Amino acid sequence: MTRCASDSAAAGQTETGRTFELSDEVATEALGAALAPLLARGDVLALTGDLGAGKTTLARGIVRSLGYRGTVPSPTFTLVQHYEIDPLPVAHFDLYRIGAADEIVELGFDEARAEGIVLLEWPERMGSYLPADRLQIALDYDAAGKARLARVRGPGDWAERLRALSP
């Protein structure tokens, strides 16, 4: 994982961001592992990017770094996977297949956020239910289509918290 640049232009004045070049799957998981210690109960992380961009890989890095030792599969079909990690449980949603935005309520989004950390793949599918204070992690393919680029930004105190993110 290579630290690239501080990126405030795209994010606006109140949201400064960080950009990372991720040369392979290991680097994507390592970014997740580096984010994990910065997270607290109630945090919502929105992982965006095209099919196969690396959203599940990054989520796996977070879940494992928080102490979960088992398999961390894609929630493509289950829609949500719960990890009962003590003291900070994680709910990992993949909203690609939800029919309507309000299904997120039945899936237990509010309860999951009250208890721990929420990771969202395809967050745009939950429409107006998506919290404004989320950390946004955008994954893109690089020009050659092999490595990935991650842009991480969030409002409020996220900029301060992201400063602790080691390269």
Ligand X SMILES: Nc1ncnc2c1ncn2[C@@H]1O[C@H](COP(=O)(O)OP(=O)(O)OP(=O)(O)O)[C@@H](O)[C@H]1O
Torsion sign, CA atoms 21, 27, 32, 33: negative
Q: Who contacts 87 (Cβ-Cβ below 8 Å, separation ≥6)? A: none
Total of chain residues touching Mg ion, rule CB under 5 A: 4
Choose between 18 and 55: whose C-beta lies nearer to Mg ion. Answer: 55
**Residues engaged in binding ligand X (CB under 6 A):** 22, 24-25, 27-28, 49, 51-57, 74, 94, 121, 146-148
Taking the complex as a whole, the smallest distance from the CB of residue 39 to Mg ion amounts, in Å, to: 19
Phi, psi of 139 (to 5 degrees): -105, 130
Q: Is the peptide bond before 87 cis (omega within 30 degrees of 0)?
A: yes
Q: Which of Mg ion, ligand X, none is residue 49 near (CB under 5 to 8 Å by kind)? A: ligand X
Taking the complex as a whole, the smallest distance from the CB of residue 46 to ligand X amounts, in Å, to: 13
Choose between 54 and 123: whose C-beta lies nearer to ligand X. Answer: 54
Should residue 74 be labelled a site residue for Mg ion when binding is judged by CB under 5 A? yes
Taking the complex as a whole, the smallest distance from the CB of residue 59 to ligand X amounts, in Å, to: 8
Should residue 56 be labelled a site residue for Mg ion when binding is judged by CB under 5 A? yes
Taking the complex as a whole, the smallest distance from the CB of residue 117 to Mg ion amounts, in Å, to: 17
Rounded to whole angstroms, the Cα distance separating 121 from 79 reads 10
Should residue 148 be labelled a site residue for Mg ion when binding is judged by CB under 5 A? no
List C-alpha distances in Å: 22 to 54, 78, 138.
Answer: 10, 28, 12
Taking the complex as a whole, the smallest distance from the CB of residue 28 to ligand X amounts, in Å, to: 4
Closest CA to 60 of 81, 39, 38, 79: 81
Show the binding pattern over residues 85-124: x = contacts Mg ion (CB under 5 A), - = does not: ------------------------------------x---
Rounded to whole angstroms, the Cα distance separating 8 from 159 reads 10
